[in-house]
Amino acid sequence: MSHHIRPPMRRQLGWQQFAAAVFGLILLTGARAAEPEQQELEIGFIKLTDCAPLIVAYEKGYFEDEGLYVTLEAQANWKVLLDRVIDGSLDGAHMLPGQPLAAAAGIGQQAELVAVAAMGLNTLAITLGNDVWSALAPSLERAGEQPAHPITAAKLKPVIAAWADAGRQFTMGMVFPTSTHNYALRYWLAAGGIHPGYYSATDLNGGTDGEVLLSVTPPPQMPATLGANTISGYSVGEPWNQQAVFKGIGVPVITAAEIWARTPEKVFGLRRAFAEENPGTVTALVKAIIRAEQWLDAGDGANREELARMLARSEYVGADYDVLVGPLTGRYQYEKDDVREMPNLNVYFADFAGYPFPADAVWYLTQMRRWGQIGTPQPDAWYDATAREVYRPDLYRAAAAELLAEGVIAAADLPPEGAYAAGPSRFIDGVTFEPAQPNAYLAQFAIGQQGGAAAARAAQP
């Protein structure tokens, strides 16, 4: 069931104030930005902490400052959200990076979508149920009284083997086949020597040759599914890992930042046709999102407790404030007596977190190839062209240019013109991602569809 969040009356009556503000800007600058072609918009999101830029842009009036009147709608799951963006029921949405990329690559439902902004870094984790944790914990190295982190999936191998010997299927949940969460979970498992399985034309569940079964569960349902013993662990965004700790049903074993130091999470996605037909609207949307992300990271987290109270509302994320506030303020709880400082979680504006770097898109495409969703080898140029087709830093920069002119952001808040990547990528297995050479990157993995030099060479034009 979707939640429809309508602008309160005080905002609906704000046209005179908005007009006065625009007139003042005209007097100051002598220029006027293009008016949004479409002012009333319906935008979708999933109940995760990284929907925060949209919630803040709405609650702080940034959408209205840009001449937009937005209805936010919580969606039941990622498939529903994707379908509604494609069919036009939603004008845009908080999306998985893999969704517009898969649509362009011919995986699942084909469509022409674009990602005009990124929406956060390092907001997911992997959680194991209590029975699995109890079996795994004795083998862990200790840092004082607590387990040493990061915990590699290699520690999980004996547990999975014991389950197999007992005739039990080891099952873990993830939120969508082309989700960050699926790829992070698969990366972690494979880095520990555990085969997560391949996708193929005859295996859309991605279980071929797998030592574990990965199944799809909507994010808010993860804790209940774990509590019912339907799955033994899961990969999901917050607050649903912390919820497992508070409910006493599971233990997060690794965060996104420990798998990939700068894990890009969601994007703001639109239909390409909408972006082409409504450039002023897209600029206004991206300006509001940038302002929201700036607010989220302002003052070294000064606004994060207020954010937790916002997200706790039932129409937004709907988790308890106490569950939300820890990761949002840099405190991560692995167990009830194990709380650690982790300031690099939930980053939205710092480190160019909102910028849609094409290199991030290339990495997601390599994972689609690695696990068989892209069924045949592709040349390096294909990865670059597909990434640039979907990720649109030009549209982000057009919005940022207006904010620069208005004095809202500084030049240092933007990467250099033409920047392809945020910087070196550091992963848990020590493998370096080189976005200009995706096939050579894939050839480094022992577990993966394109795991050898011969396959990499075959991919070249």
Confidence class of residue 424 from pLDDT cuts 50, 70 and 90? confident
What CATH number should be reported for the domain holding residue 181? 3.40.190.10
pLDDT recorded at residue 55: 98
Residue 244 covered by a domain: yes
Query: Within this chain, do residues 268 and 409 fall inside the same structural domain, yes or no?
Result: yes
Q: 3-class DSSP state for residue 51?
A: helix
Q: Do 275 and 406 lie in a common domain? A: yes
Mean pLDDT (the chain) is 91
| Residue 382 scores a pLDDT above 90 | yes
Check whether 378 has a pLDDT greater than 60: yes
Q: Which residues pair with 268 in a beta bridge?
A: 94, 117
DSSP letter (8 states) at residue 32: -
3 state SS of 218: coil
Q: Look at residue 33 in the predicted model and tell me its pLDDT.
A: 62
Give the pLDDT score at 17: 41
Q: Establish if 128 belongs to a structural domain.
A: yes
The residue from 230, 245, 261 where one domain ends is 261
Q: Where are the alpha helices (DSSP H) in 230-337?
A: 240-247, 256-259, 272-277, 279-297, 304-312, 321-328
Judge whether 260 and 150 are in contact, CB under 8 Å. Answer: no
Q: What percent of the chain has pLDDT over 70?
A: 90
Q: Which of 261, 279, 308 is the last residue of a domain?
A: 261
CA 60 vs CA 81, 216, 283, 437: distances in Å: 24, 34, 18, 42
User: Among 48-52, 309-313, 387-391, 425-429, which is the least confidently predicted range?
Assistant: 425-429
Residue 34 — very low, low, confident or very high, per pLDDT cuts 50/70/90?
Answer: confident
Claim to verify: residue 61 and residue 130 sit in the same structural domain: no
172 with 225, same domain: the answer is yes
Last residue of a domain, one of 235, 261, 287: 261
In a domain, 172, yes or no: yes
- Tell me the C-alpha distance between 6 and 55, whole Å: 12
What is the DSSP code string of 64-85?
Answer: HHTT-EEEEEE-SSHHHHHHHH
Task: Reply yes or no on whether the pLDDT at 11 is more than 70.
Answer: no
- Residue 287 and residue 264: Cα distance in Å, rounded? 20
Over residues 240-266, the mean pLDDT reads 96
Cα-based distances in Å from 319 to 2, 221, 236, 305, 340: 17, 12, 14, 14, 21
**Region 135-164 average pLDDT:** 94
105 and 224 both lie in a single domain: no
Residue 5 has pLDDT above 60, yes or no: no
- Give residue 6's pLDDT: 40
Among 356, 352, 374, which Cα is nearest to 365's? 374
> How much of the chain, in percent, has pLDDT values that exceed 90?
87
Pick 450 or 96 by higher pLDDT: 96
- pLDDT for position 449: 87
Instruction: Encode pLDDT of 42-52 as tens digits.
Output: 999 999 999 99
Same domain, 193 and 107: no
pLDDT number for residue 80: 97
The two beta strands, 142-143 and 264-271, are unpaired
Indicate the range of 54-58, 105-109, 221-225, 284-288 predicted with least confidence. 105-109
pLDDT at 450: 64
At 211 the three-state DSSP class reads coil
Residue 81, φ and ψ in degrees, nearest 5: -60, -50
Q: How many domains does the chain have?
A: 2
Question: Is the confidence at residue 32, as pLDDT, over 90?
Answer: no
Token readout for 299 is 């003052």
Q: Are residues 33 and 156 in the same domain?
A: no
- The burial class, CB within 10 Å (0-12 / 13-18 / 19+), for 200 is middle
pLDDT at 30 over 80: no
pLDDT (mean) for 175-200:
97
Q: Is residue 24's pLDDT more than 60?
A: no
Q: Where are the beta strands (DSSP E) in 123-228?
A: 124-129, 142-143, 146-147, 171-174, 198-200, 203-208, 213-216
Q: Which two tokens stand for residue 266?
A: 């969601």
State the residue for tokens 């057009």: 398
pLDDT at residue 456 in the model: 35
Tell me if 272 is assigned to some domain: yes
Same domain, 232 and 272: no
Instruction: Based on the fold, state whether residues 34 and 129 are members of the same structural domain.
Output: no
Helix (H, G, I), strand (E, B) or coil at 342: coil
Q: Is residue 366 in some structural domain?
A: no
Classify residue 441: in a domain, yes or no. no
13 or 237: which leads in pLDDT: 237
pLDDT (0 to 100) of residue 224: 97
Taking a C-beta distance cutoff of 8 angstroms, is the pair 280, 122 a contact? no
Candidate from 125-134, 216-225, 396-405, 441-450 with smallest mean pLDDT: 441-450
Instruction: Examine residue 184 and state whether it is found in any structural domain, yes or no.
Output: yes
Strand-pair category, 171-174 with 142-143: unpaired
Give the pLDDT confidence of 248-260 residue by residue, as tens digits: 999 999 999 999 9
Domain region containing 247: 124-261
Q: Which residues pair with 260 in a beta bridge?
A: 427
- pLDDT confidence of residue 18: 37
Long-range contacts of 22-27 (CB under 8 A, 24+ apart): 22/67, 25/406
425 is a domain residue: no
Residue 460: what pLDDT?
Answer: 37
Residues 371-375 have a mean pLDDT of 95
Same domain, 95 and 45: yes
Shared domain for 8 and 107, answered yes or no, is yes
Same domain, 400 and 288: yes
Banded pLDDT at 8 (limits 50, 70, 90): very low
> Kind of pairing, strands 113-121 and 92-95?
unpaired
Please state the pTM of the whole predicted model: 0.91
